[in-house]
Amino acid sequence: MALAMPVVWSDRHRLHDPGGEVWVGVRIPGTEVPDRADRIRDALIEAGAEFFGAARQRDDAVLAVHDRALIDYLSTAWDDWEAAGLTTEPGQDRVVPYVFAHPGLGDKLAVPTAASARAGYFAYDTMTLLGPGTWEAARAAMDVALTAAQLVLAGAPAAYACCRPPGHHATRSAFGGSCYLNNTAAAAARMRPLGEIAVVDLDAHHGNGTQAIFYDDAEVRTGSVHVDPGAGWFPHFVGFASETGHGANHNIPLAPGTGDEGWLAAVEELAAWARPARGLVVALGVDAAAGDPESPLTVTAAGYRAAGRTLGRLRLPTVIVQEGGYDLDTIGGLVLEFLTGIEEGGFG
């Protein structure tokens, strides 16, 4: 049986090549590479899925989840970096921060005049490099997620947004964790006409950006299962079970090494917790799979299929938004397993 749900796509993801990441001060090869989305696309074409080109969305939909200052910065950061001569002296071919607007500096901080310093007002890590095509690709990823939400509002039971760069680490005012704009949050905001929305984040890392964006919002409940930041994993500062907001946030941190049994129990807990909502957005990272280079969780392909069935059984209007997943040989198959599970659970 072919995959039934529409898949939304944009070729413009390829304009973003992070060119590696700066980790503990050293530039290393990154894992958030253009091939990721292409591998997923190949697997879904093979499965007979129908593809839809993303429709350009209004800036309002971006401003629903991000400050204008962040948008203004991201859309001009590369040009400003180049104009400041930083690509020649010191010879840095990506935007990389070197000072940060740390809260310890006080709470009234200026936006720096120097392009070299401005990056650290908006970025919270050194791993999320920005190049000449990053803005256009990140904006196109928003178009993909919002178009998928639109298809669901128009009556599709589910739609899959095949987007990169990922988004769930981007907050209202800051970017990081390989994310620039929060595609998942934008899809959730777009779904609001349905009533209360639940976001269930399956990425191996805590969805800190989405949590922060909706923390004070009773109409969007956010849940995340992820490797315990307290065990030494990104995003390190947040993602603990104690972060409940006003009752609309639910974190389930797992010990490194956790596999299907523990992970699926957490997914079931999040599904039960999402049940009162009228619409569902799944932040689908497949980096919790065993063998993924960015996480120590050990979920199997069958585990992702079972997670899809669990969430599909909610029979809520569902948008699935691609987040992480970095093993190129398995990423496509893992996504297909999950989407197939959604259909087995919800369309049967």
Exactly one of 6, 18, 131, 177 binds ligand SP5 (CB under 6 A); which one? 177
Local structure of residue 216 (DSSP, 8 states): T
Query: Is residue 169 annotated as a catalytic residue, yes or no?
Result: yes
Q: Quick one: which of 209, 172, 202 has its CA closest to 74? A: 172
Exactly one of 165, 285, 296, 312 binds Zn ion (CB under 5 A); which one? 285
Assess 203 for contact with ligand SP5 (CB under 6 A).
yes
Exactly one of 131, 285, 303, 312 binds ligand SP5 (CB under 6 A); which one? 285
> Residue 23 binds what, of Zn ion, ligand SP5, none (CB under 5 to 8 Å, by partner type)?
ligand SP5
Assess 205 for contact with Zn ion (CB under 5 A).
yes
Assess 228 for contact with ligand SP5 (CB under 6 A).
no
Q: Quick one: which of 124, 162, 118, 157 has its CA closest to 12? A: 162
Assess 323 for contact with ligand SP5 (CB under 6 A).
yes
- Cβ-based burial of 47 (10 A; exposed 0-12, middle 13-18, buried ≥19): middle
Residues in the chain: 348
Tokens found for residue 312:
């599909």
In the window 316-345, what residues touch Zn ion (CB under 5 A)? 324
Tokens found for residue 190:
């777009």
- Cβ-based burial of 317 (10 A; exposed 0-12, middle 13-18, buried ≥19): buried
Q: Closest distance between ligand SP5 and the C-beta of residue 37, in Å?
A: 13
**52, 65, 299 from 72: Cα distances, Å:** 29, 14, 39
Tokens found for residue 258:
């956790």
CA separation for the pair 277, 214 (Å, rounded): 15
**35, 38, 94, 137 from 82: Cα distances, Å:** 26, 29, 9, 18
User: Would you give the binding string for Zn ion spanning residues 238-277, x where CB under 5 A is met?
Assistant: ----------------------------------------
Residue nearest ligand SP5 (C-beta atom): 324
| 218 touches 197 (CB < 8 A) | no
Assess 143 for contact with Zn ion (CB under 5 A).
no
User: Would you give the binding string for ligand SP5 spanning residues 237-266, x where CB under 6 A is met?
Assistant: ------------------------------
Question: Interacting stretch for ligand SP5, rule CB under 6 A, among 68-76, 83-91, 171-179, 186-194?
Answer: 171-179
Q: Closest distance between Zn ion and the C-beta of residue 285, in Å?
A: 4
The answer to whether the peptide bond before residue 18 is cis (omega within 30 degrees of 0) is no
- Judged by beta carbon, residue 143 or residue 287, the one nearer Zn ion is 287
Q: Which of the following is catalytic: 66, 169, 206, 226? A: 169
Exactly one of 134, 147, 178, 224 binds ligand SP5 (CB under 6 A); which one? 178
- Judged by beta carbon, residue 150 or residue 224, the one nearer ligand SP5 is 224
Assess 209 for contact with ligand SP5 (CB under 6 A).
no
| 235 touches 226 (CB < 8 A) | no
Assess 166 for contact with ligand SP5 (CB under 6 A).
yes
Report the catalytic residues: 169
